Amino acid sequence: MSADLDDLYQEVILDHNRRPRNFRALTDGRKAEGYNPLCGDRLTVYLHVDGDVITDISFQGSGCAISKASASLMTESVKGKTIAEATALFDRFRDMIMAPSEAPPADLGKLTALAGVRQFPVRVKCASLAWHTLKAAAEARDEMVSTE
């Protein structure tokens, strides 16, 4: 298998795809639904916010390995952060996955596992769907987020 495929489908990604973390519904919180009409990926992000702090986050839905692993890793990395910090992290994450493929990957902790997406521009939407949905949930927008 080619090196860029190895980069994309790292063990961390495959593990989060097989056993997504925080894969459940939350009641009494905010939620938003994300949809990628191109491939049919669909997920719901649930959020508990205390003041400005994300005290709990979870997701459910169906999608490719990249979108599922990205959602799973996202829930782990934003729990306990403020919404402003999560939004800033999204910006850095987006910069990382949209960087030129020859650029050295930024260090975003466990989210760095998704840096391989840089070499697959058509998969950027898969990796960012959960983050867009989180943003909508955080802003308590009661609408469906679409990648298109």
Judged by CB under 8 A, the stretch of 25-33, 47-55, 56-64, 98-106 that binds another protein is 56-64
For 140, phi then psi, to 5°, come to 55, 40
Q: Work out whether 121 is an interface residue with another protein (CB under 8 A).
A: no
Count Cβ atoms below 10 Å from residue 38 Cβ, excluding itself: 12
Closest CA to 42 of 59, 21, 17, 25: 59
Pick the binder of another protein from 24, 52, 55, 62 (CB under 8 A).
62
Using CB under 8 A as the criterion, what x/- string covers residues 15-54 for binding another protein? --xx-------------------xxxxx------------
Distances, alpha carbon 15 to alpha carbons 19, 50, 75, 100, 138, in Å: 6, 30, 15, 26, 27
Binding site for another protein (CB under 8 A): 1-2, 4-5, 8-9, 14, 17-18, 38-42, 62-66, 120, 122-123, 126
